[in-house]
Homo-oligomer: A and B are copies of this chain.
């Protein structure tokens, strides 16, 4: 088989034109070995606290990764065959899932999922084989053997990956004990910080809104039976997070509306929601007000507000009922940032402490809305491409869409947004290669001086996200 031996090309993702590639290579060299700053992601902190070895290749690469699952499902593979919705797979089922991946591997050609995994196979695990039905078993065995070795345990990889900062995403009622333990552990030098993710506590239409807000109140030691109590509880929990190292909060509602209600209306609607008597429109109005409250709290406590809006969650009800959320049935929709955040920007957009990073999967708002907003409000940054568009062509489109309006200093820096721990270096490396390619194109067309491109390359991987996310201000920040 010609595809059995395989190593990713050292010039992958760099431009094909030899002259431009030379420029890109030298820009990439400036970025390649910078540390990894990951200010937004979904790795479980217990992974690093417990430092248990990864169980097997399938639970590492397939089962939890909806990027991988969704494409196989669309090709007729049952999600349960991939381990979704089941407990840990035994060796036989795990290997069977792996063989399914190999069987469908050709359908991933050109996707970032395959790109990242091939990077991981090679650069993290040192494999020199391409995945195929013929090589599946041998690769499974080789990976399983590596996973059992201490140098492939989470903390060892964390060090090897050069991760300096890793933000997790956490529930407002979480006690953040793993973060505290890691921060207190002198043998662990990385910075693992929580992120305040209050979405579900801001959705009055949820059937479990009372239970949720009760739990919030319990965590905060405040009666959340009233709107004022809810606001106070949020204030308290945000500060708790900030005291446990958090530098940002994350918000992912169907729309990023921030229209405020009068206090009276907020109280009235909140009471109705607690009584289970709020209508659909009022629930949206209250949710927007509660999001506006988060912005106001952010202007007090300084947590950076990241917004990931406009996804139709659980598009298929039957799948949701069978497998739960996050199995690939979340589909993006159009977003209108300009009207949605106008109330918030008028409220706190020029406050010194307030900062927001606007993400989108709807690429139309990049040149039309996000760049113009980030190019004038000191508090707004243009978030890096996310989820479906965290991929080479889309990343290049992002740079071309925003940098003519805002250059590079008003962008967020790369965000891996992943729960796939071992893919983190692959993702950051991809981003660095693409930024090098983008900048090299500008240099080659004499649109940017090479020295300016070099300075930008120097700043993008580390300095930019560190500054945008106020990382050095984290309560858990350590000396580098």
> Which residues of A pack against B, CB within 8 Å?
2-3, 6, 8-9, 11-20, 70-71, 73-76, 106-112, 115, 130, 312, 315-319, 328-334, 336, 338-339, 342, 345-346, 349-350, 361-364, 367-369, 371-378, 380, 388-389, 391-394, 397, 400-401, 403-410, 441-442, 444-449, 451-453, 455-456
Among B109, B404, B449, the residue within 8 A (CB) of A111 is: B404
Given contacts A318-B350, A400-B393, contact A338 B329 (CB under 8 A): no
B contact residues around A350 at 8 Å (CB): 316, 318-319
B contact residues around A73 at 8 Å (CB): 376, 378
Given contacts A110-B448, A333-B369, A368-B363, contact A16 B376 (CB under 8 A): no
Q: How far is the CA of A333 from the CA of B364 in the complex (A)?
A: 10
Contact A378 B3 (CB under 8 A): no
B contact residues around A328 at 8 Å (CB): 375-376
Contact B20 A19 (CB under 8 A): no
Contact A444 B16 (CB under 8 A): yes
A-B pairs with lowest CB-CB distance, top 10: A391-B404, A9-B446, A16-B444, A12-B446, A109-B452, A70-B376, A393-B400, A328-B376, A107-B409, A331-B372
Q: How far is the CA of A375 from the CA of B453 in the complex (A)?
A: 36
Least CB distance, A255 to chain B, in whole angstroms: 13
B contact residues around A407 at 8 Å (CB): 71, 107-111
B contact residues around A2 at 8 Å (CB): 451
B contact residues around A17 at 8 Å (CB): 16-17
B contact residues around A9 at 8 Å (CB): 446
Contact A106 B3 (CB under 8 A): no
B contact residues around A397 at 8 Å (CB): 400
B contact residues around A70 at 8 Å (CB): 375-376
Among B109, B316, B406, the residue within 8 A (CB) of A345 is: B316
